[in-house]
Amino acid sequence: MIIQSDYSPPAWLKNCHVQTVVGTWIKRNSNIPVHRQRVELADDDFLEIDWLNHPTKDAQPTLLLLHGLEGSIESSYIQGLLKHYATTDWRVGVMHFRGCSGVPNRKLRSYHSGDTADLHYVLNQLKHEGPLFVAGFSLGGNVLLKYLGEQGADCIIDAAIAVSVPFDLDAAAKRLDKGLSKCYRWYLIRELKRKTRMKMVQFPDYEWISDEALAQIKSFVDFDHLLTAPVNGFASGKAYYDECSCGQFLAHIKKPTLVIHAKDDPFMTPDAIPTSESLSDCVTLELSDNGGHMGFLRQNRSGGLDRYLDDRIPAWFEERAALLLAHL
């Protein structure tokens, strides 16, 4: 099902690039106290989860948050939600993908848009008595939707939300080669190159591309073909995109799922947005005309800025939690 979002920004916030860029600045560095858990993975690598709150009741909900490409607990969209949940007794964790918690991971591989194995491992390690929810953002949303589709009715997640996901990785990569979207590409590629150079030092025996070739990479298409794909066992960048794009998994999702997306998202094109026919009966796609990529900014009563997501996500999960807890 596709529905029209209630989100509507003031006129001066309707530009998608204003939404996207300004959205990265608000609600950062809130210094909300968390405690870090290191999860040892089956392949002798690790990832880390930052936990907010200790639930006072065994049946309280658990919410796991999955950040976007090169994101972390410091990402502004994560911080806004933590600020909300800090005043509740929900158990909320930010799962950092491998190498994203500020500590390099041990293995050659790190993470990518289709890496559902680590999420599966973490979910099955969690001890929880109450409802289990997951929210994913951008890359994290792609991972989440792919996982939900792979697991189908066997998925242990009770309900999920995905925001600003790249439904088609190939289309998203090419969209970032156009117009002002090149600025986002430049920033993200720069960060990925920085981590790649660290891996080159950590694993000198791997057959890396040359320093000159790495320096010349300007697009995600090239980066994913020359680095993401071979490091993670894909035959090519195209194979990686074809196998990991979440759009093809939406029809197989069997748990209540809300997908929040803006038609003007500068990380992709409107023609990548799924049709109602490609969604399972469990998926609701909430579309807004504006919002950019992970923006959805609005002006609050005090004249400052906050996110529509900081209300919409908790409200939707609270509805699902009430239904589930009523049957415990």
Is 5 among the residues known to form the active site? Answer: no
Distance, in Å, from the CA atom of 116 to the CA atom of 146, rounded to the nearest integer, reads: 7
Distance, in Å, from the CA atom of 82 to the CA atom of 94, rounded to the nearest integer, reads: 9
* Catalytic site residue from 5, 76, 113, 138: 138
Contact in structure between 324 and 158 (CB atoms under 8 Å): yes
Of 258, 263, 250, give the one whose Cα is nearest residue 315: 258
Structure tokens at 270: 């409107």
* Catalytic site residue from 5, 293, 306, 310: 293
Burial pattern 76-102, b for ≥16 Cβ within 10 A else e, equals bbbbbbbebbeebebbbbbbbbbbbbe
Q: What is the DSSP string of 250-294?
A: GGG--S-EEEEEETT-TTS-GGGSPPGGGS-TTEEEEEES--TTT
Is 58 among the residues known to form the active site? Answer: no
Contact in structure between 79 and 307 (CB atoms under 8 Å): no
Structure tokens at 137: 């953002």
Is 115 among the residues known to form the active site? Answer: no
Distance, in Å, from the CA atom of 79 to the CA atom of 86, rounded to the nearest integer, reads: 10
Strands 35-40 and 257-262: unpaired
Strands 283-288 and 257-262: parallel
* Catalytic site residue from 115, 168, 224, 265: 265
Q: Which residues pair with 96 in a beta bridge?
A: 48
Q: How far is CA 173 from CA 112, 178, 219, 238, 247, in A?
A: 14, 10, 8, 11, 15
**Which are the catalytic amino acids?**
138, 265, 293
